[in-house]
A and B are shown apart, each in its own frame.
Chain A
Amino acid sequence: MRPNLWIDELAELVPPATLFREQVDLLSFTRDTSPVPAGEPEVAVRPSDADGVAEVLRFAKRRAVPVYVRGAGSMYAGGAVPHKGGIVLDMTALDGIVDIDIRRGLVVVEPAVRFGALLKALKPLGYTIGIVPLTGAAGTVGGAVSAHALGTGSPKFQSMGDQIAGLEVVLADGARVRTGSAASRQAGFFQRYCIGPDLTGLFLGADSTMGVITKIALWLHRLPEHVETLCLGFPDSPSGAAFLSAMQGAELTRNTWYGAIYEEGAIVGRVGAARPDIPRETLPAVCVALDLGGEAPDVDRDRDRLVALARDHGGDRFDVFDEVFFRSMRRDHTLWYSFAGYFTRSRCSLLMASLPCETLPALFDRVKEWRAKYTEYVWGTGIVLCRRGVHGAVIAFYDEESQWDAVQPVFVDVMNEMTAMGCVPYKPGKIWADAIRSYPEYFDLLGRIKKTLDPDGTLGPGNLGL
């Protein structure tokens, strides 16, 4: 245990069982799932309610100690990495489901409720929530809200933030505020856009730089009564991208709960392993894999329209991919459980960006170039369909033990190329800090808001480049 006067002082303020200062206990808080270098937290505190959060924030402000908020720590961008030391605010004791309000169509949760626990509670009632990330078994709702989650629900609902009816937030000075209609104690959560500007949005994807979320109101949705999968193959990426734009333009995402776009390497790998009898040259270059859900007649109609639209764009059904991979991944829930297989090979980076559909072919081309240029790493993509555009991850697999130092500048080069071609950082955290600073007007406004809400800069220093 390290002697430290401010930690001793903090220890006087919080229940002993909620403060962790042994080095062995703090080692788990040094990293998240990103390739952002480890930080060295000096203490971790695990408050059990919003008052406890406020107590820690007031102390941190008074003593000018950095605070890094943490849920499961399974994000891909380093937001939870305490690279300036200080306090890790471990939110995992705030894991309750506060209220399931069927009448209002929303559920209010504490931030560290795990998606798996929330879905388990909602399922018997016939409900679900809009966005569920692939880390859902262990991932927390608060982490997902703070870092722009995506995954199941992205085609139908776009982003995690679009599913938020309002928040309760503790600000850097310990003040507690509710956003949206819940600013009125009499009204409570039911409407996000009211009173004035959308203050909820200040805290979405903010990686706790603006405040610490202590309650989240999420919209409820009926579980779809009928589900099925559909895979469509395209001869090249421009025709696949044109199909995606047309699909979104025709609002054919209404009954699409998940969609992924696979490039040639993934197609050859999956089909080649399961069906070596199929000649490689007959496989499509791009696959759009969709998980449809809704009322059966609606799904029937959408499926037929999607197939027709694919044919209009030079594509067709690609049932083999569905049979050998996609259907089982979705129906057996291996997507969540297997961590999408991303990390099975080795540690990897997921450099996550948003991009318009028409940029996708250029990204695929660039990934091929990186494969040729950086042969010491294995490259892949993870592209998730949204209601508009796509969220795309460029994935680089590396051996952390032997390639750590060498891979860091490669990530920088790749991210620079991605932003230059019009990919926009999606997961915030620290990994895209330089890119965020490269949007000067945006960054200036962000900084001014930060200065107002957290003038001492105690909340998540380094996140979002702040």
Chain B
Amino acid sequence: MTTLGRDTLPHIAAFEENLYHCASCNYCVDAVWDEWGIDHVCPTLLHHSPAHGYSGKGYIAAARAWFEGAVLDPMVLAERAFTCTTCGNCEEVCPIGMRPMHVARALRAELADRGHAPAHALRLRDAAMAADGRRAWADGLEGDAGAATGLIAGCANSDLEVAEARAAFRLLRAGGVPIRALADAPAGGALAALGFTREAAAQRADLDRHLTEAGIAKVAVVGAEFLAHLAGGEAADAPPAESVLETIASAVAEGRLRLTPRSDNPPPGSVGYLDPCHLTKKAHGLAGRNLGAVARDLLARLGVTVVEPAAAPRFQVCCGAAGGMPDAQPEAAARMARARLDEFGARGAALVVTAGPLCAAHLERSAEAGGPAVRGLYGFLLDHFDAMPGSAQG
């Protein structure tokens, strides 16, 4: 085998072992296995194109061909590599632990380094690097000036789901959590997912500097993609990062935060809970924290029954929110969202909640066409519960 790319394709070379180990078994293309709760795999193949160039094994095959010196059409390859939700379900089902989603991201990085990133990715890069409007989410939020924990909304919240980030802040404050709202604190997760690794590293350095200057030792994160990037092992030497979901759930469980149903807007008896891929799938490094169970336990404590989707939480097919999909292929992304909403609707859910702000924003757009309504988890809690300090706060 020729391995021409070892020196010239560093992002792919990082996954060299995968290129020669993938058994081409097709699990990442499609699989169904009831006992494991696997009910199909790849949203792009299901809702955009069945061409295997968009599949996990297709990414590995393309990376290997490039690595071995094949001349591939960069525009075609870029269209495939950047039309991936980066959900990581292919890695979840892979029986031998291959990392096709990461190989797709490596392809993105190689292409971006060579100036072949598609126009939509460049627009997303520019938006992720612009500070305009990012401060707005924290306007008027008063925290503890000296708190060592900073609340970070994440790009999706600061851009798309401002109300969700503000709801999370209010819940934390009601629970007596000493915290400061940190505006304008991107970590580079969105850029890294798009393959803009240099820009992601620069943002990360800016974040470190920002935290040091502000005296922040720990961050609490609302955004799922942000948390995955920071706490999921992708960013070296990251500051300790906790999920706001965990913080709020433990405050409720320990009696520091009391959520009582509002008489003027009582909670529904049941909701569908959509597990954000970034919080759930092992590809993003947070699977061990079992945040889906945390969310379900929180809802159960509040008397809300969770309507479960067809697949097990870890194997759910992505709603199409991440990886730049809504910008790369808006119609396919809408079909992905529609499929998830229809799935919950068929199981009797009139409302779907999620702890993933990207998912919430994307699903909300599709929900306008009918079916279950969509709400971010923290907004849902404040919609239907009065948040008060619990007796455990003293």
Question: Interface of A with B (CB < 8 Å)?
Answer: 1, 17, 20, 22-25, 27-33, 46, 72-74, 92-93, 114, 116-117, 119-120, 123, 135-139, 333, 336-339, 343-344, 346-347, 399-402, 404
A217 CB → nearest B CB, Å? 21
* B262 interface contact, C-beta 8 A: no
Please pick, from B27, B51, B77, B96, the residue contacting A138 in the complex, using a CB distance under 8 A.
B27
* B3 interface contact, C-beta 8 A: yes
Q: Which of B235-274 contact A (CB under 8 A)?
A: none
Nearest A residue to B3, CB-CB: A401
Residues 51-87 of chain B, each 1 if its beta carbon lies under 8 Å from chain A, else 0: 1110101100110010000101100110010000000
A192 CB → nearest B CB, Å? 27
Which chain A residues border B49 with CB–CB below 8 Å? Answer: 17
Nearest B residue to A23, CB-CB: B72
Nearest B residue to A139, CB-CB: B26
B66 CB → nearest A CB, Å? 10
Which chain A residues border B95 with CB–CB below 8 Å? Answer: 337-339, 343-344
B25 & A72 in contact (Cβ 8 Å cutoff): yes
B1 & A337 in contact (Cβ 8 Å cutoff): no
* B290 interface contact, C-beta 8 A: no
A72 & B29 in contact (Cβ 8 Å cutoff): yes
B184 CB → nearest A CB, Å? 39
In angstroms, Cα B70 to Cα A339, docked, is 30
A403 CB → nearest B CB, Å? 9
A46 & B50 in contact (Cβ 8 Å cutoff): yes
Stretch binding the partner chain, chosen from B34-42, B131-139, B338-346: B34-42
Assuming the contacts A116-B31, A138-B29, asked whether A23 and B61 have C-beta atoms less than 8 A apart, the reply is no
A116 & B21 in contact (Cβ 8 Å cutoff): no
A399 & B20 in contact (Cβ 8 Å cutoff): yes
Please pick, from B21, B24, B58, the residue contacting A74 in the complex, using a CB distance under 8 A.
B24
In angstroms, Cα B36 to Cα A1, docked, is 40
Instruction: Give the A-B pair count, Cβ closer than 8 A.
Output: 127
Please pick, from B34, B50, B52, B58, the residue contacting A123 in the complex, using a CB distance under 8 A.
B34
A138 & B34 in contact (Cβ 8 Å cutoff): no
B268 CB → nearest A CB, Å? 29
Nearest B residue to A401, CB-CB: B20
B38 & A116 in contact (Cβ 8 Å cutoff): yes
B76 & A400 in contact (Cβ 8 Å cutoff): no
Which chain A residues border B16 with CB–CB below 8 Å? Answer: 401
In angstroms, Cα B64 to Cα A401, docked, is 11
Residues 80-119 of chain B, each 1 if its beta carbon lies under 8 Å from chain A, else 0: 1000000000000101110000000000000000000000
Which chain B residues border A333 with CB–CB below 8 Å? Answer: 33, 35-36
Among the interface residues A1, A28, A72, which one has the most CB atoms of the partner chain B within 10 A? A28
* B127 interface contact, C-beta 8 A: no
Please pick, from A27, A33, A119, A120, the residue contacting B25 in the complex, using a CB distance under 8 A.
A33
Question: Interface of B with A (CB < 8 Å)?
Answer: 1, 3, 16, 19-21, 23-27, 29-36, 38, 49-53, 55, 57-58, 61-62, 65, 70, 72-73, 76-77, 80, 93, 95-97
Nearest B residue to A17, CB-CB: B49
B17 CB → nearest A CB, Å? 8
In angstroms, Cα B58 to Cα A338, docked, is 21
Please pick, from B32, B51, B77, B80, the residue contacting A114 in the complex, using a CB distance under 8 A.
B32
Assuming the contacts A33-B23, A116-B33, A116-B34, asked whether A27 and B65 have C-beta atoms less than 8 A apart, the reply is yes
Give 18 CB contacts A-B under 8 Å: A22-B51, A22-B53, A25-B51, A25-B52, A25-B53, A25-B80, A27-B61, A28-B52, A28-B53, A30-B61, A72-B26, A114-B30, A116-B32, A139-B26, A339-B27, A343-B96, A344-B97, A400-B21
Which chain B residues border A25 with CB–CB below 8 Å? Answer: 51-53, 58, 80
B23 & A343 in contact (Cβ 8 Å cutoff): yes
Please pick, from A137, A343, A404, the residue contacting B33 in the complex, using a CB distance under 8 A.
A137
Which chain B residues border A24 with CB–CB below 8 Å? Answer: 53, 58, 62, 72-73, 76-77, 80
In angstroms, Cα B77 to Cα A312, docked, is 64
B204 CB → nearest A CB, Å? 31
A339 & B1 in contact (Cβ 8 Å cutoff): no
Which chain B residues border A74 with CB–CB below 8 Å? Answer: 23-26
Nearest A residue to B35, CB-CB: A333
A20 & B51 in contact (Cβ 8 Å cutoff): yes
In angstroms, Cα B70 to Cα A346, docked, is 24
Which chain A residues border B1 with CB–CB below 8 Å? Answer: 400-402, 404
* Given A28-B61, A92-B29, A344-B95, 4 further pairs, Cβ under 8 A: A23-B73, A135-B25, A343-B21, A404-B1
Assuming the contacts A28-B58, A404-B1, asked whether A337 and B50 have C-beta atoms less than 8 A apart, the reply is no
A124 CB → nearest B CB, Å? 10
Which chain B residues border A344 with CB–CB below 8 Å? Answer: 95-97
Which chain B residues border A343 with CB–CB below 8 Å? Answer: 21, 23, 25, 95-96
B131 CB → nearest A CB, Å? 37
